[in-house]
Amino acid sequence: MAGSENINQVTNEERELWNAFRKGNEQAFSDIYHQFSGTLYNYGYHLAADAALVQDAMQDLFSDLWRTRKNLSETTSVKYYLFRSLRRKLHRLSDIKQLPEDLYPLQTESAETLRIQGEEDILQRQHLQRLMGLLPARQQEVIRLRFYDNFSWEEIAGILQINEQSVRNLVQRAVVKLRELW
């Protein structure tokens, strides 16, 4: 029960922050940017692997958000909204219809995190990362969204604009493939 209360509390806090931003509160806009820009950049970089393109897309996204704030609808997950919007911006900016299958391997850990973890854990994570690089880009993306960014099946389906069962199938195929490769 306590876990669901925390989820509702975060959702309520996000909702209040979003609504304050929609009413023109500059501090709320700044808070949204600072709270989500890091994970948003990481996600964008995994899609495009072009830092300048991701930065341009993020700048466009936040500029558009501020400019159209009065016309935006309510949301229960700011993170979901931002991820989905950034994905669309990247596709438009890069004119990519579908990402190449194995061009951009998934980066899962920061250098700081790797230094903190034990030596055995580091080796296992590096091995997993190499194996994930062997997966098709779409499978890499669903694994990241599900297990690293903690999106629900429904949210992932919305971000990728595919049905929920397709998301589950992609994750299942990716996990089976990773087990085979391990």
- Give the residue extent of every domain in the chain: 2-94, 111-181
- Top-confidence residue, 57 or 10: 57
- Top-confidence residue, 93 or 165: 165
**pLDDT exceeds 80 at position 174:** yes
**pLDDT exceeds 60 at position 156:** yes
pLDDT at position 46:
84
> Could you tell me if residue 100 is left (phi over 0), alpha (psi between -120 and 50 degrees) or otherwise beta?
beta
Structural contact between residues 132 and 108, judged by C-beta atoms closer than 8 angstroms? yes
Number of H helices, E strands in the chain: 9, 0
The C-alpha atoms of residue 140 and residue 94 are separated, in whole angstroms, by: 19
- Top-confidence residue, 108 or 78: 78
Structure-token pair, residue 71: 């016309």
Q: pLDDT above 90 covers what percent of the chain?
A: 21
Tell me the average pLDDT across 30-40.
91
Q: Which CATH number fits domain 111-181: 1.10.10.10, 1.10.357.10, 3.40.50.1860, 3.50.50.60?
A: 1.10.10.10
pLDDT in tens, 88-116: 888 888 764 344 444 444 444 545 544 45
CATH code of 2-94, in short, is 1.10.1740.10
The C-alpha atoms of residue 29 and residue 63 are separated, in whole angstroms, by: 11
- Give the confidence band of 128 by pLDDT, cuts at 50, 70, 90: confident
Distances (CA, A) of 128 to 46, 98, 178: 16, 24, 8
pLDDT at position 82:
92
pLDDT at position 123:
67
Dihedral sign of CA atoms 20, 24, 29, 30 in order: negative
Tell me the average pLDDT across 128-132.
81
Tell me the average pLDDT across 71-88.
87
Structural contact between residues 35 and 75, judged by C-beta atoms closer than 8 angstroms? no
The reply to whether 2-94 and 111-181 are identical in fold is no
pLDDT at position 119:
60
The DSSP-derived string for 122-147 is HHHHHHHHHHHTTS-HHHHHHHIIII
* Residue among 61, 64, 65 at smallest CA distance from 90: 61
- Top-confidence residue, 99 or 73: 73
- Give the confidence band of 122 by pLDDT, cuts at 50, 70, 90: low
Structural contact between residues 181 and 134, judged by C-beta atoms closer than 8 angstroms? yes
Dihedral sign of CA atoms 12, 147, 165, 98 in order: positive
The C-alpha atoms of residue 177 and residue 21 are separated, in whole angstroms, by: 43
Tell me the average pLDDT across 34-56.
87
The C-alpha atoms of residue 70 and residue 146 are separated, in whole angstroms, by: 31
**pLDDT exceeds 80 at position 33:** yes
Tell me the average pLDDT across 5-30.
79
Taking the chain, what is the end-to-end CA distance rounded to the nearest angstrom? Answer: 36
